[in-house]
Amino acid sequence: MSITAFDLNNPVEKNLAAMLASGRFPHAVILEGGTASERLALAKKLAAALVCSAGRANAPCGICSHCKKAAADSHADIPFYTAEDKPRAFKVDLVRDIRSDAYIIPNEADKKVFILENAHTMGNEGQNAILKILEEPPSYVNFIMLCSSKSGFLPTVLSRATVFTIGEAKNDDDAENRAAAVEAAMGIARAVTAIDDIELVRAAAVFEKDAKLLKTTLPVVQEIFAAAMREKFGVSENSSEFGALPEELARKLSRRALPDLIEACDKLMASLRMNANHNLMLTALCTTLRKAVSK
Ligand SMILES: [Zn+2]
């Protein structure tokens, strides 16, 4: 991973950049929401910015030795502590280690930036231990605590930290599954309008060894046809998730075909719930959609 400058179009990053530039950056920040990997990526960028030697208005520069080490996860002054995302997984002993570590001055940077992943899984004892250092942190120490939701923290800890909300909390797996389903669904929806039947068979090939993907994709195919129908009937919306596809489908498909396609998706989802044979399902997918569109 490389370290890039703060994205000033992103409200959270813009805020962080402004606070850094002001020279009054809080000792403890909590990054909540988004996916675990989004939180970690932002924490790494922020940690790099805090140790970067380019000056606080230009940090993180991405090219100084501090930024490069931060990008390689090898910066001695960016200690990383993590625990599983389950209750009380972040043990009090680990918090005590962090406290001792915090009193050791930085190696090579002016700052020492602790990234604590899944910090919300500290029990009360752990949180009270971290609170002691949040109350009187050494001047060179920064804490970046990551959590799906700040609601796991004691009010006393929250009162010592500045909370930044990345967005609604999401599971990494869910986000990945959704992305894969959207890609497959767009392939199917596009193939439905192809002149040659073979396009749909080709688009459906992604499901050949992946029954789970078919299950998550079918509702998305239906969403796409529903968006196309709204376009067709003049209820336009700016849903970027499917790009220009709904508009394109609205142009190519008739007013009769679109509701039929939506209904065809319902039938296919019903068959899937009844655990239909996977290969038969794939055949049904192609024939049902083709039949709906031929009207
Ligand atoms: Zn730098």
Using the mean position of ligand 1's atoms as its centre, give its distance from the Cα of residue 100 in Å. 27
Q: How far, in Å, from the CA of 52 to the mean position of ligand 1?
A: 4
Q: What residue spans define the domains of the chain? A: 11-170, 174-293
**Token code pair at residue 45:** 């960028």
Output the pLDDT for position 43.
97
Report CA(242)–ligand 1 centroid distance (Å): 37
Q: Which of 64-73, 254-263, 270-279 has the highest mean pLDDT?
A: 64-73
Is the distance from CB of 51 to CB of 110 less than 8 angstroms? Answer: yes
How far does the centroid of ligand 1 lie from the alpha carbon of residue 282, in Å? 52
What residue type is assigned to position 99 of the chain? R
272/278 Cα distance (integer angstroms): 8
Query: pLDDT by residue (tens digit) across 114-127?
Result: 999 999 999 999 99
pLDDT at 128: 95
Mean pLDDT, to the nearest integer, of 152-164?
95
The pLDDT value given to residue 160: 95
pLDDT at 238 over 80: no
% of residues, the chain, pLDDT over 70 = 98
pTM over 0.75: no
- Check residue 165 and give its pLDDT: 95
Using the mean position of ligand 1's atoms as its centre, give its distance from the Cα of residue 48 in Å.
7
| C-alpha of residue 140 to centroid of ligand 1, in Å | 17
- Banded pLDDT at 146 (limits 50, 70, 90): very high
Peptide bond into 246 cis (omega under 30): no
Please tell me the distance from the alpha carbon of residue 252 to that of residue 211, in angstroms, as a whole number. Answer: 29
Q: What is the pLDDT of residue 276?
A: 78
pLDDT score of 240 more than 80:
no
Mean pLDDT of 223-245: 85
Q: How far is the CA of 45 from the centre of ligand 1 (A)?
A: 10
Average pLDDT over residues 152-169: 93
pLDDT over 90 (residue 171):
no
- Measure 196 CA to ligand 1 centroid, in angstroms: 54
Task: At 281, list the tokens.
Answer: 């399902």
Residue ranges with CB less than 5 Å from ion ligand 1 = 52, 54, 61, 64, 67
Can you tell me the mean pLDDT for 135-156? Answer: 95
Q: Which amino acid is at 233?
A: F
- 108 φ/ψ angles, rounded to the nearest 5 degrees: -135, -20
Kindly give the distance from the C-alpha atom of residue 79 to the centroid of ligand 1, in angstroms, as a whole number.
17
Question: In angstroms, what is the span from residue 195 Cα to ligand 1's centroid?
Answer: 54
> pLDDT band at residue 144, thresholds of 50, 70 and 90?
very high
Q: Are 261 and 253 in contact (CB under 8 A)?
A: yes
Q: What is the mean pLDDT of residues 89-96?
A: 95
CA 72 – ligand 1 centroid, Å: 13
**Is the pLDDT at 13 greater than 90, yes or no?**
yes
State residue 274's pLDDT score. Answer: 84
Report CA(101)–ligand 1 centroid distance (Å): 24
CA of 58 to the centre of ligand 1 (A): 8
Share of the chain above pLDDT 90, in %: 74
Residue 215 parent element (H or E): helix 211-232
Q: Determine the distance separating the centroid of ligand 1 and the alpha carbon of 108, expressed in angstroms.
A: 13
Q: For residue 31, list its beta bridge partners.
A: 146, 164
CATH code at 11-170: 3.40.50.300
pLDDT (0 to 100) of residue 57: 87
- Short-list 225, 205, 203, CA closest to 269: 225
Residue 234 has pLDDT above 90, yes or no: no
Cα of 144 vs centre of ligand 1, distance in Å, is 18
Confidence of residue 295 (pLDDT cuts 50, 70, 90): low
> Rounded mean pLDDT of 253-261?
91
CA of 275 to the centre of ligand 1 (A): 55
Instruction: Please determine, for residue 2, whether its predicted confidence score (pLDDT) is greater than 90.
Output: no
- What is the 56 CA–ligand 1 centroid distance (Å)? 9
- What span, in angstroms and rounded, lies between the C-alpha atoms of 49 and 144? 12
> What CATH code is assigned to 174-293?
1.20.272
